[in-house]
Structure 1
Amino acid sequence: MKTEEKKFFPMFVDLSEKKAVVLGAGVIATRRVKTLLDFVGELAVIAPVCTEEMASLAAEGKLVYRQKSYEREDLYDADLVLAATDDEKVNEDIYSACKCLGIPVNTASNQLKCDFHFPGILEYDGVVLGFNGSGKNHKKVKEVRQKTQKALEQSRKEEEICEK
């Protein structure tokens, strides 16, 4: 029997009362944090240094930033973890610890070590759309998300014209 490559299943999960812990606070972590903010109940970012944007989000009270190096204990109360440090060994340890603790983890530097992937998100009139190419073509996913957004915006404009 020929084995075909499976696609990712688009599963939407209620994270509104869950805690996400992000290890690392660079550009990728900041982008992912901005995506998570609208969905999680609590967000903690742990890293020795962070981007200005991450610092601003912390100052606004949108997340808790702990300026320190990773320790395994940082994971113990997490419901979801993102390993986004610039140290492959640290990301490996985070991944291994999460697997042992049964915590879903996304390792930003290695898509093979991800229990979940970040979709391209589009929110429109209270509807959340997620776009994902199974980790294969990020540019195509972005293109499709942008085309969908433009089509929805155009549809809205047409509806407004018809209502007048």
Structure 2
Amino acid sequence: MRYFPLFLDLNNKPVLVVGGGEVACRKIDALLRAGAIVTIVSPNIATYLESLVNEGKCHWIKNFYSSQVMNHEFIQVWATTDNPELNHEVYKDAKERGILVNVVDDQPYCDFITPSMIGRGQIQIAISSGGASPVLVRNLREQIEAVLPNNLGLLAQFGASKRNSIKEALPSVDLRRQFWERYFDLPQVKQAQTRDTLEQAYKALLKEPIERKSEVHWIEFNHDIELLSLKALRVMQQAELVLYPKTCPFEWVDLCRRDAERELFNDGAQLGQRLAELKQQPVRVCIFVPPETQAFSMLQHGDTVIGLASTK
């Protein structure tokens, strides 16, 4: 992974954009949506940008670029001109001042790159190939857009509005996590189009007790991650502890919940001892094992075993 993914808070932060053409239009539109304070440097700008300037949404320095316009107040610089030499000059000036810089469509001169974005209100999904294949990323975005529900923004807004009340009702992080997992899995919540529907489901579910108990799921793995079933992925995202052998490929473990604890086990005896401890605790455990092996059959008694997805 060459690029570290993050979402940068640009609200009320000064950003410099050198250039005023079509590329600058796209970048500035996104920057303004994020709340950035944008300064444009260019002798001429596109009609769209001129309208933004007239509306007071951007500041325009109507001149050719000079290093004097770049100061340490800017936290981000974009070079969007069609002149590579000028763009590289902007890059050099930004680097000397320790400012993050992006020279559009010139990856070696970028401290960061911008992913393809999918937005549903407060929900943002970013997709990137690290600049390797923009067309592939576009195709992936289209596929994801097609399956995402339109009410995601409504759900996110409702969840944000309950941050304080849910803490009063459920004091621990684990209880709140389990509540929200159950809540967002409710059919009426998945299909909700109004806040009233969400509120009714919220109040009703709060009245139901949350039982904390030990849950152990065994998931078979091989070297083809595409055989991972949706059921297994759901279990992996809910697990609080992940146990795996050395033979388990990292990509399987990496798909588990980010804040889940991960433990390596060497053999069945060690795993059996650990399971005896865990089954006395209210913890959700995911165990990776090779397919069609009898080495762990005695330990699996009473637990759920999820095999590989069928290729037929």
TM-score bracket for this pair, using the shorter chain length: 0.7 to 0.9
SS in 2 for 1:144: helix
* Structure possessing the higher radius of gyration over alpha carbons: 2
Unaligned runs of 5+ in 2: 153-189, 198-312
Q: Is the 8 A contact 1:19 1:40 kept in 2?
A: no
| Structure 1 segments (4+ residues) deviating >6 Å | none
Q: Which residue of 2 aligns with 1:51?
A: 46
**2:78 aligns to what SS in structure 1?**
strand
Residues 80-135 of structure 1, C-alpha deviations (whole Å, 9 max, x = no match): 00011121111111111111100000011411110011111222131122221101
Residue in 1 that maps onto 2:24: 29
Residues 17-68 of structure 1 deviation map (CA, whole Å, 9 limit, x = unaligned): 3211000011111111111112243111111111111112222222112221
The answer for unaligned runs of 5 or more in structure 1 is 1-5
What is residue 70 of structure 2 aligned with on the other side?
Answer: 75
How many aligned residue pairs are there?
Answer: 156
Whole-angstrom distance in 2 between the partners of 1:154 and 1:78: 36
TM-score normalized with structure 2 length: 0.47
Q: 1:61 to 1:149 in 2, by over 3 A?
A: farther
8 Å contact from structure 1 (residues 25, 47) kept in 2: yes
SS in 2 for 1:37: helix
Contact preservation (8 Å) 1:104, 1:116: yes
Counterpart of 1:159 (choices 178, 184, 191) is 191
Deviation at 1:155, TM superposition (A): 7.3
Displacement of 1:154 in angstroms is: 6.2
What does residue 107 of structure 2 align with? 111
1:149 CA displacement? 2.0
Aligned residues with identical type, % of pairs: 26
RMSD: 2.0
TM-score by length of 1: 0.85
Larger RCO (CA within 8 A; separation ≥ 6): 1
Question: Could you tell me whether the CA contact under 8 Å between 1:20 and 1:40 is conserved in 2?
Answer: no
